[in-house]
Amino acid sequence: DADVTQTPRNRITKTGKRIMLECSQTKGHDRMYWYRQDPGLGLRLIYYSFDVKDINKGEISDGYSVSRQAQAKFSLSLESAIPNQTALYFCATSGAGADTEAFFGQGTRLTVV
Amino acid sequence: AQKVTQAQTEISVVEKEDVTLDCVYETRDTTYYLFWYKQPPSGELVFLIRRNSFDEQNEISGRYSWNFQKSTSSFNFTITASQVVDSAVYFCALSEAFTSGTYKYIFGTGTRLKVLA
């Protein structure tokens, strides 16, 4: 099984709909992240959480919200999806130190029509 | 502020050529960490290497090598004798620790490498 699992892997949704992307990890790490990947823009941080009680906005949090249901689970919600939120979304987890690498999920390709 | 620049958007090479992917970073801290990730066409992100700011030794792993130069704030990645399977998007990333004990990863925009048979 993958260390970080994202569901769904692909999703097409309509403008204005609410959608939730789910992420679970088996690494036992406290830190979890949501990134968005767009062509030419690399990976941009949406939200991050350093433990269950800690949630922080990243550089592009507008239009998104998150929930850290447990150490292993971190979900991302789009309350009212819009077409420019069409992107590839990645969940990641990492260990306690800045020297640890991030482990990424397989990604969720979201299309908002 | 932290920043990672990968100026090469896309590189195409013919199989067996050597290729270098550039990464330039900006940080005000003296303690930081640099990473390279590979994103093959299947989409997942694969960790390749980590380097801390106190270790400027170059590293070689098979056909891959990394050159870290603090004087030029660069952490370049070279693939020797490239193969079609090396075709991917490669990301350079930086993390630095804050006094609060937290840290974040900052990613570059990536370089798409195409290796032609």
- Shortest alpha-carbon distance between residue A42 and chain B (Å): 4
Average pLDDT, chain A: 94
Question: Is the pLDDT assigned to residue A19 strictly greater than 70?
Answer: yes
Nearest-Cα residue of chain A relative to residue B34: A99
Q: Is the CB of residue B66 less than 8 Å away from at least one CB of chain A? A: no
Q: Do A42 and B109 touch (CB under 8 A)?
A: yes
Q: Do B105 and A94 touch (CB under 8 A)?
A: yes
Residue-wise pLDDT for A72-93, tens only, equals: 999 999 999 999 999 999 999 9
DSSP symbols for chain B:
--EEE---SEEEEETT--EEE--EEE-S-SSEEEEEEEE-TT---EEEEEEETT----EEETTEEEEEEGGGTEEEEEESS--GGG-EEEEEEEEEE-TTS-EEEEE---EEEEEE-
C-alpha B103/C-alpha A1 separation (Å) is: 28
Residue-wise pLDDT for B3-22, tens only, equals: 999 999 999 999 999 999 99
Residue-wise pLDDT for A28-81, tens only, equals: 999 999 999 998 889 999 999 988 999 999 989 999 999 999 999 999 999 999
**Which residues of chain B are modeled with pLDDT < 50?**
none
